[in-house]
């Protein structure tokens, strides 16, 4: 018999399934996994404790789990062309923590792109472990929104970091790993690429691989890779030559350093997604993601060299990020508010939105669909004109509450939502009828 608690959860899952099918999911770090990834994720593998690593477990009964984890590691090594792959980190943030612990001692200097320039929290942001337990120095982007290598070199020479992160979370341009390597070598820093956002593009050959130039790589598995939530840590030949003990150090940082038992259902689902990423069809997917993003960006009056678009809304008014996110959500289009480089409003009430094409492309949407979607986005943004953020900080919270209500009543947005639902509903979503 299904208990009332369980039935409530499944009702809510059905509600979320509807949202995922009839909306346009444009948060660039999200995607739709395949039915087989879902099957592995929902499997009985969740029942097993397996602290340790293949062949070296704390508990008995891990014969099969060892085979699964070894298989996932082998697939990752093959896909990226590296000698070491570890698949146990629960997600991207603990994976980055494990790498930092393996490379640095507490208080050592780590350098990463600032949050406001498109970097990630774990690369040295305020309030993250990476600045609480380590000494964080941030580099940034210049007026052209691209990484300022002159500043990076100056900061590196001044602070002599032990670790330099190259990786982004809201950056629409390609990364030149060779330039980072040159600077890391000047100060003898370990260079770590966090490719979470662009893994799929790297596999598809749309973005250069960091493998020849960096020591360690971290990728989340749930973004452009189209796997379950999780992470993979890779060590390159160069990284092993730099520190032959690095694999053991990262393993120790994962357990007992940070985690307990691995999530075996997650490991199995990662293996399924890696099998899928090794197929020729995945390359086609990655190419389509980037093509779609380029078309969408052009239609919105900007550029993208990757899977994401960072759109400044300054032409619509002051501090319009929240208003745009609310209005787009009302119209069935999910994006996130985001700071833009040189943020003119506030990091808490930013002036831009971040949107991308990985999830839409997984549903089979093509370039002509992007033109249509850009049309809806532009119509939605017209509706927020005049809803500028108050200059006085104390008025902002109440103002946004009122804006949300106003947006909820807006008839034009309701009309756009109808059109969006009709369109989106035609594209299948794996695992959703």
- Which residues are near ligand PLP by CB under 6 A? 29, 91-93, 96, 120, 122, 167, 169, 194, 196-197, 220
Is residue 194 part of the annotated active site? The answer reads yes
CB of 358 to ligand PLP, least distance (A): 12
Contact 396, 349 (CB under 8 A): yes
**Nearest approach, Cβ of 95 to ligand PLP (angstroms)?**
8
Q: How far is the CB of 263 from ligand PLP (least distance, A)?
A: 13
Measured from the CB atom, the residue of 130 and 351 that comes closer to ligand PLP is 130
Closest CB 196 distance from ligand PLP, rounded Å: 4
Exactly one of 223, 247, 354, 396 is catalytic; which is it? 223
The one catalytic residue in 146, 179, 229, 298 is 229
Q: Looking at 25, 69, 194, 251, which residue is catalytic?
A: 194
Whichever of 123 and 417 has its CB closer to ligand PLP, that residue is 123
Annotated catalytic residue within 219, 220, 221, 224: 220
Among residues 216, 144, 223, 130, the alpha carbon closest in space to that of 180 is found at: 216
- Which residue's CB is nearer to ligand PLP, number 91 or number 302? 91
Annotated active-site residue 57? The verdict is: no
Torsion of CA 123, 128, 134, 137, to 10 degrees: 50
The strand pair at 56-57 and 216-220 is best described as unpaired
242 is catalytic: no
In the residue annotation, 229 being an active-site residue is answered as yes
In the complex with ligand PLP, the residue whose CB is nearer, 122 or 312, is: 122
DSSP strand pairing (163-167 vs 135-139): unpaired
> Which is nearer to ligand PLP, 27 or 240 (by Cβ)?
27
Classify burial at 252, counting beta carbons within 10 Å of its beta carbon; exposed 0-12, middle 13-18, buried 19 or more.
middle
The answer to whether 49 is a known catalytic residue is yes
Q: What per-residue string of b and e applies to 134-167 under the rule 16 or more CB within 10 Å gives b? A: bbbbbbbbeeebbbbbeebbebbeebebbbbbbb
Q: Which residues contact 207 (CB under 8 A, 6 or more apart)?
A: 174, 175, 198, 201, 306
Other beta carbons within 10 angstroms of residue 186's beta carbon come to 12
Active site residue 176: no
Among residues 286 and 331, whose Cβ is nearest to ligand PLP? 286
Least gap, CB of 99 to ligand PLP (angstroms): 11
Residue least distant from ligand PLP (Cβ): 92
Q: Residue 422 Cβ, how far from ligand PLP at the closest point, in Å?
A: 31
For the annotated catalytic residues, the residue numbers are: 49, 51, 194, 220, 223, 229
């Amino acid at each position: 018999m299904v208990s009332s608690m369980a039935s409530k959860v499944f009702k809510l899952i059905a509600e979320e399934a509807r949202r995922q099918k009839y909306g346009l999911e444009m948060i660039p770090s999200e995607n739709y996994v395949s039915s087989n990834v879902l099957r592995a994720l929902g499997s009985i593998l969740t029942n097993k404790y397996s602290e340790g690593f293949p062949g070296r477990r704390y508990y008995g009964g891990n014969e099969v789990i060892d085979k699964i984890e070894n298989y996932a590691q082998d697939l990752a090594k093959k896909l990226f062309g590296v000698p070491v792959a570890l698949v146990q980190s629960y997600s991207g943030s603990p994976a980055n923590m494990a790498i930092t612990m393996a490379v640095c001692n507490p208080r050592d200097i780590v350098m990463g792109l600032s949050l406001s320039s498109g970097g990630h929290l774990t690369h040295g942001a305020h309030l993250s472990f990476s600045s609480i337990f380590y000494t964080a120095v941030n580099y940034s982007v210049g007026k052209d929104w691209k990484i300022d290598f002159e500043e990076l070199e100056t900061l590196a020479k001044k602070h002599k970091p032990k670790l330099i992160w190259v990786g982004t979370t809201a950056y629409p341009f390609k990364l030149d790993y060779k330039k980072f390597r040159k600077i890391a070598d000047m100060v003898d820093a370990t260079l770590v690429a966090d490719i979470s956002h662009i893994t799929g593009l790297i596999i598809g050959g749309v973005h250069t691989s960091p493998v020849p130039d960096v020591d360690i790589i971290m990728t989340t598995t749930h973004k452009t890779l189209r796997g379950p939530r999780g992470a993979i840590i890779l060590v390159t030949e160069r990284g092993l030559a730099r520190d032959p003990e690095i694999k053991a150090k990262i393993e120790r940082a994962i357990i007992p350093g940070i985690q307990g038992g691995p999530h075996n259902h997650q490991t199995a689902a990662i293996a399924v997604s890696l099998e899928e990423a090794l197929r020729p069809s995945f390359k086609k997917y990655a190419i389509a993601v980037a093509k779609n993003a380029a078309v969408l960006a052009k239609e919105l009056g900007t550029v993208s060299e990757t899977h994401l678009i960072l759109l400044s809304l300054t032409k619509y008014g002051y501090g319009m990020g929240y208003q745009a996110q609310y209005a787009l959500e009302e119209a069935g289009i999910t994006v996130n508010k985001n700071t833009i480089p040189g943020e003119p409003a506030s990091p808490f009430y930013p002036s831009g939105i971040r949107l991308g094409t990985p999830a839409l492309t997984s549903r089979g949407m093509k370039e002509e669909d992007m033109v249509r979607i850009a049309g809806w986005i532009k119509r939605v943004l017209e509706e927020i004109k005049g809803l500028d953020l108050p200059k006085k900080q104390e008025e902002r919270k109440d103002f946004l509450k009122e804006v949300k209500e106003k947006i909820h009543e807006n008839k034009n947005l309701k009309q756009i939502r109808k059109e969006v639902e009709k369109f989106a509903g035609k594209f299948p979503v794996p695992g959703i009828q």
